[in-house]
Amino acid sequence: MAANFSLENLQVEHMVQPLGLDVKEPQFSWNMQGGKERGLEQKAYQLIVKNEQGETVWDTGKIESSSSVGIKYNGTKLSPENRYKWVIRVWNQKNEMQENSSWFETGLNLERSGTGNWNDAQWIGGKDESLPLYSQSLPVFRVKYDVQILPGSQRASFILGANDSRLMDKNKNLYNLKSGTDESYIRLQFDVSRINTGGEACINIYRQGYSEADTKTPLTAIWIPREIVQSDNQNEKHRIEISSNFGIFNFWIDGKQIELPKVNFWTTGYNVNPVGAGGDYIGFPMVADIGFSIEKGQKANFSDLQILNYRAPQNPLFKEDLNGAGYKGIFSRKEKNGFSVQNGVYHLDGNTDGLFVTADPSHGSMPLLRSTFSLRDKDIKSARLYATARGIYEFYINGKRISNEYFSPGLTQYNVTQLYQTYDVTKFLQSGKANAMGAQLAEGWWSGAITFQGENWNYFGDRQSLLAKLVVTYRDGSQDIMITNPKTWKFYDQSPVVSGSFFQGEVYDARKEKLSNPGQPQLIQI
């Protein structure tokens, strides 16, 4: 029989090792005179707890009781960041005693309302502009751009969802379609052709290469009220915003939302996903390649193009600076007759053949953080790493992964409780030498998809960050403490893990195994 005890009256926040306090339970069974005897029962127990110096902090003495679980600690107040040995003795009705021992280790704080002693460790992660985008794996997003139909012209289109890799391989989609380059896309055509005859402007939605049912005619037209676009302003710049929630589109023109019917219980809009509305599968469209299209004889300008997060604060994932000399953006290799970038504007001229241009807006990777440090040339008694992340993390010291756990620090209501782990990393360190430690971060439950509903995308935040403290204790009692700090850590945005998501899977680019582009991480405020 194994007895355990509870630290309930100490109000410890985390009760097991993955949550900050490691409790190892001794296991044993009655085995008398070489054989197992039936009918034995516990009649008494004794619990003894000692600190690292061997001093007894709790001794229950022999207590006549059959209780074997939930025995509350009632000894001297325990200290944080310490390991305690505990001994259990159990007597049966024959007054025969068995004894076993194990240990538990306290975390950074012992008060439920406390934040722990992190020695001024800081949350570190990427800067605003380093939010990664893998466009082939993002089905929940927003797009904003300005479009201006030039005088004498009537139509111009924005392209998204082009060249989805699943649609270019017949074995990767339900319809067994194989599209060539620029043969699969969603085209959103801003059309003012009806205004001068008393009609309304609209956005025509075209879909090509997604389904056998796709044709050259629009799926639908999203009509724009006359008070927003009319004859007096049809050739002015208009702000278009589209949200895509697993293929359900909604539209805003010059800041005003267009009213659309309900698609399902949760949301209104127009569904362009040929498979049907829903987030319980990898849907269509992704952002994929983006671009522009214009018919022959037509002219238009596009500007201030952004891809943004779906949820507030809608931080940008893609935005180009078009004002500098010598455009070097994603379309620079796609420039062709009729397409140019000048004075902050993408200029389209359909000439005699029309124009269709796309490019991949992807950039960056999942965050990698790294720091180097030197240890004194002394015998190391112990080393403890305390670590957590907004997102999930894997931690490495001197090139070796310190744990076989996955998805740490685990799921919680992050805006209320942040879990952390404690690791014994003594064997990973080298005294008297330079050492290195680092972490790979990914979305986990913090960002990206947390449920099958796109409304919950980036529910807690849109970027990952790390908080860690390494405490090295030498035999002479002295310590070295290393913490996460933007001055001593470096950030890499080109790791091989391009995208890491519970719902969207992982994309690994082995070409990026040799890291480049080191920089300083930004302090992420709590």
Higher-scoring residue by pLDDT: 38, 16? 38
pLDDT (0 to 100) of residue 65:
95
Indicate whether 508 belongs to any domain: yes
Name the domain boundary from 298, 329, 359. Answer: 359
* pTM summary value: 0.88
Residue 33 predicted with pLDDT over 90: no
Least confident of 208-212, 264-268, 466-470, 504-508: 264-268
Please give the residue that has the higher pLDDT: either 34 or 246. Answer: 246
The number of folded domains in the chain is 3
Among residues of the chain, what percentage have pLDDT more than 90? 78
Provide the pLDDT for residue 215. 94
Asked if residue 325 and residue 202 are part of one domain, the reply reads yes
Give mean pLDDT, residues 43-59: 96
Confidence of residue 515 (pLDDT cuts 50, 70, 90): low
Residue 323's alpha-carbon distances to 144, 226, 274, 292, 361, in angstroms, are 18, 33, 39, 19, 18
CB 115 within 8 A of CB 515: no
Asked whether residue 212 is domain-assigned, the answer is yes
Lowest-pLDDT choice from 34-43, 349-358, 392-401: 34-43
Residue 115 belongs to a domain? no
Establish if 119 belongs to a structural domain: no
Q: Using the 8-state DSSP alphabet, how is residue 268 labeled?
A: B
pLDDT at 6: 54
| Sign of the CA dihedral with 342 first, then 345, 348, and 349 last | negative
pLDDT in tens, 90-133: 999 999 999 999 999 998 876 666 667 899 999 999 887 889 99
* d(C-alpha 28, C-alpha 36), whole Å: 12
Same domain, 453 and 501: yes
Domain limits at 429? Answer: 124-130+365-523
User: What's the pLDDT at 517?
Assistant: 61
Buried b (16+ CB within 10 A) or exposed e, 427-439: ebbebeeebebbb
Min mean pLDDT across 49-53, 241-245, 449-453 is at: 449-453
Residues 274-290: tens digit of each pLDDT: 998 777 777 899 999 99
Cα–Cα distance for residue pair 160/284, rounded to 1 Å: 11
**pLDDT of 294-321, one tens digit each?**
999 999 999 999 999 999 999 999 999 9
> Which of 12, 33, 32 has the alpha carbon at shortest distance from 23?
12
What's the pLDDT at 18? 33
What do you get for the CA distance between the two ends of the chain, in Å?
46
Among left, alpha and beta (phi > 0; psi -120 to 50; other), residue 415 is alpha
Same domain, 212 and 335: yes
One domain, residues 214 and 274: yes
Residue 112 lies in a domain: no
Q: Which one, of 496, 502, 495, lies nearest residue 444 by Cα?
A: 502
What is the mean pLDDT of the segment spanning 363-378? 96
Cα 23 to Cα 3: distance, rounded to the nearest angstrom: 13
Domain assignment of residue 113, yes or no:
no
Q: Among residues 327, 359, 391, which one ends one of the domains?
A: 359
pLDDT of the residue at 8: 43
CA 518/CA 509 separation, integer angstroms: 18
Task: Clarify whether residues 427 and 514 are in a common domain.
Answer: yes
Residue 404's nearest CA partner among 394, 412, 389 is 394
Which two three-digit tokens encode residue 85?
């040995």
CATH for 452: 2.60.120.260
Does any domain span residue 466?
yes
- Assigned domain for 450 exists: yes
Does 389 lie in the same domain as 327?
no
Q: How confident is the model at residue 451 (pLDDT cuts 50, 70, 90)?
A: confident
Residue 305 has a pLDDT of: 98
pLDDT in tens, 8-30: 433 233 333 333 344 555 555 55
